[in-house]
Amino acid sequence: MSLPPSPAAPASSPTALSPSARVATAVRHAVVSGLLGEDCPIAGFIDTDGVRSSVAALHEAFPGVPAVLHTFAAKAASLVPVLRLLARCGMGCEVASPGELRLALDAGFAPSKIVLDSPAKTRDEIRRALAVGVALNADNLDEVDRIASLRPADAVSAIGLRVNPQVGGGSIGAMSTATATSKFGVALRDPGARERVVQAFAQHPWLTRLHAHVGSQGCSLELIAAGIGETYRLAEEINRTIGRRQITGLDIGGGLPVNFEDDDVRPTFAAYAAALRAEVPGLFDGRYELVTEFGRSLLAKNGFIGALVEYTKDAGGRRIALTHAGAQTATRTVFMPEAWPLRVGAFDAEGLPKGGPPLVQDIAGPCCFAGDVVAHARELPELRSGDFVVLYDTGAYYFSSPWSYNSLPRPAVYGFEVTEGPGPEGPAVRFAPVRDAQSLDSVSAESGLAHADALVDLGESF
């Protein structure tokens, strides 16, 4: 059920609002509506119109391509309402676990539009995928053999093999998957590997796709295009060597990096497609069905986290704002701040943007360890108890990768849209629940409440 529209705040037409202004409008209405405040000190928000616009931009970047399936990487926002919205927008879904496959099916994706990628699929996972008809990308040649032993003769699943083109890494090592020693795919430049890949395709006519993914944040368009170019040339070589057009699809992954510095979307999907056309012009001629697997670039800039400032203090000449947004939701930013910096906005107790002279402040979270700081030495208007902070560009991963440190409950997540107001008040905001805030009963249940006496009873049994 949608929450009722909250009172409008003065603003211009929503069509003229910048992304930051849309966030500011949503924050004001969230505070007025009680979605942010003393009783709910942290929440996530997803701009549904922004999501639709990002999906449209992706589709528009591939005009005239006869067959292309754009899938969303479920790990970037593993929330059923978000996945269902993306399904309604014409997306497919890339999944990498039994849980993500379940969520994709529950969200309404057709099995034929789901792709299962994982470097450690069990036999049961493979059987399940083959039974429902989702596509699979084998991570290695041993997995190809496992699929061969489990695949029924009437299987309809498209099956591919992931390769590692070994074209190098980007600026964030942990996000680079085409390095010499990456755990993903068959390393093509290792001695004899290329020949074994060709042999596998010759042996198994049901292998019809090649898959490669160079990495994501920190990887340049040139690096991504180079990896896809190597994969395309391998597909051409395999089809030529075995004398038939067996490979009919190329899964080129995702990985478009996101600009976290300001509102601008860069690089764009159009720039990504242009880089591919320059490097691999044959990719778009229709001989291969294309599959993409974008996640962060579709959702990141369409979401934000709002959090209450509980206290402020001074230590060593530095102002510290103690908020409810920390490592439990911004895990990567806390542990790798140089790689995952976030913009922070300062809002007053009414949910309005704060003004005033800048003050150097740390924005700290609620977790009980010293490193739980999401922003170090930021110049912001002076924050006070009862104010709010906003972490921008957190629509991807920050809602779907919670860390249960200190048994902190998962925050609520809401979708929102900015609509024309009924009069001079300006735009209104409509909210809809995506995920309820986790209850303390749920926290306790997840922590083994049903087995509370199990260890005591075990000890007393002797």
Domains of the chain: 21-48+301-433 (2.40.37.10), 49-299 (3.20.20.10)
The sign of the torsion formed by the CA atoms of 126, 292, 275, 201 equals: positive
- The three state secondary structure string of the chain is CCCCCCCCCCCCCHHHCCHHHHHHHHHHHHHHHCCCCCCCCEEEEEEHHHHHHHHHHHHHCCCCCCCEEEEEEHHHCCCHHHHHHHHHCCCEEEECCHHHHHHHHHHCCCHHHEEEECCCCCHHHHHHHHHHCCEEEECCHHHHHHHHHHCCCCCCCCEEEEEECCCCCCCCHHHECCCCCCCCCEECCCCCHHHHHHHHHHHCCCEEEEECCCECCCCCHHHHHHHHHHHHHHHHHHHHHHCCCCCCEEECCCCCCCCCCCCCCCCCHHHHHHHHHHHCHHHHCCCCEEEEEECHHHHHHHEEEEEEEEEEEEECCEEEEEECCCCCCCHHHHHCCCCCCCCEEEECCCCCECCCCEEEEEEECCCCCCCCEEEEEEEEECCCCCCEEEECCCCCCCCCCCCCHHHCCCCEEEEEEEECCCCCCCCEEEEEEEECCCCHHHHHHHCCHHHCCHHHHHHHCC
Of 61, 56, 13, 32, the residue nearest 302 (C-alpha): 56
Rg of the chain in Å (alpha carbons): 24
Distance in Å from the first CA to the final CA of the chain = 54
Q: Looking at the DSSP assignment, which residues form a beta bridge with residue 388?
A: 308, 347
> What is the structure's pLDDT at 423?
52
For residues 97 and 253, give the distance between their C-alpha atoms in angstroms, rounded to a whole number: 17
Positions of the chain with pLDDT under 50:
1-15
- Type of residue at 409: P
Q: Are 34 and 405 in contact (CB under 8 A)?
A: no
> What is the structure's pLDDT at 12?
36
> What is the structure's pLDDT at 2?
40
What Å distances lie between residue 457 and 73, 267, 446, 448, 453, CA to CA?
44, 59, 20, 15, 6
> What is the structure's pLDDT at 169?
78
> What is the structure's pLDDT at 14?
41
> What is the structure's pLDDT at 10?
35
For residues 167 and 428, give the distance between their C-alpha atoms in angstroms, rounded to a whole number: 49
> What is the structure's pLDDT at 425?
66
455: which residues sit within 8 A by CB, 6+ positions away?
Answer: none
